[in-house]
Amino acid sequence: MRQDQQRVDMALERYLPPAVEVPATIHESMRYSLFAGGKRFRPILLLEACRLVGGEARKSLPAAVAMELIHTYSLIHDDLPCMDDASLRRGKPTSHKKYGEAIAVLTGDALLTHAFEVLTREQVAEGVPTEAIVEVVGLIARAAGTMGMVGGQVLDIQHAGTGAGIRPEQLSEIHHRKTGALIVAAVEAGAVLGGATFEQRESLTAYGRNVGLAFQIADDLLDVHGTVETLGKDIAGDVARQKITFPAVFGVEASRQMGVDSLIRATQALEGFGGEAAYLRALAEFVVSRAH
């Protein structure tokens, strides 16, 4: 996992505009948030999905980098004063605290835009066929848009404060869009770039859906139990803002069980791959174990 993280970090550095390029502020602020200690979970999922179906991980590095660019943009915009109003992220001042709100908004915009430049120019440079590029851009854009991540964020804002009144399906739907959609897009993009069969792609999508759910539940549980030191962000922020979370709706124990169930379903989805899928299974376990 560390090796993949390093590979992603090197590719990020390579595919970003040089830090000294004018205007330097924005290239600096892009790097500030990108190299703040992210685990590169989405890129690693993408690389490994590609490998598992027999593709070359090198060719999927641009798409892996694009996932991290999009994920990081979403964190910067979510942290803004008009959204979560967060001061800390991964133990460091958030983008708007460090660079001011205008630059933070623009840094998010720049990261999102740059993702699509990397998805085209750098994938072409790596020799990815244009049919695969177009498919990957389309599925990532859809997952990041109003039917996915942005839509989930809107629903989350609209439901904040309604607390325990929400129906379980609504909660799952919101979290599927907000977190799950991009995770599914990561494994799907890896599958497309690796030349997956229809069945392989279906299995990986099912894995992604369940890992995404497990990931969100783990995150919610961490927010209840974590400290500033372990989380690197304001504690119990979700509780304070009356955000709808799994523990708030189902309680801590039931949420933990739901996380374990998702992990089991994620692992089952990989059965057809046999021993080759050990890494993806370990990644799923890693996600859930964080919350225990």
Give contact residues for a second copy (rule: CB under 8 A): 17, 21-23, 25-27, 30, 73, 77, 80, 82-83, 100-103, 105-106, 108-110, 112-114, 116-117, 119-121, 123-124, 130-131, 133-135, 137-138, 141-142, 144-147, 150-151, 153-155, 157-158
Q: How far is the CB of 70 from a second copy (least distance, A)?
A: 9
Torsion of CA 117, 35, 75, 286, to 10 degrees: 110
With beta carbons less than 8 A apart as the criterion, state whether 1 and 44 touch: yes
For a second copy, the closer CB: 51 or 59 = 59
CA distances from 85 to 37, 75, 97, 148, 177 (A): 20, 11, 10, 22, 21
For a second copy, the closer CB: 158 or 257 = 158
With beta carbons less than 8 A apart as the criterion, state whether 199 and 269 touch: no
With beta carbons less than 8 A apart as the criterion, state whether 83 and 156 touch: no
Q: How many residues does the chain have?
A: 292
For a second copy, the closer CB: 105 or 258 = 105
**Looking up tokens 């089952």, which residue turns up?**
268
For a second copy, the closer CB: 102 or 240 = 102
For a second copy, the closer CB: 49 or 128 = 128
For a second copy, the closer CB: 105 or 224 = 105
SS3 88: strand
With beta carbons less than 8 A apart as the criterion, state whether 72 and 147 touch: no
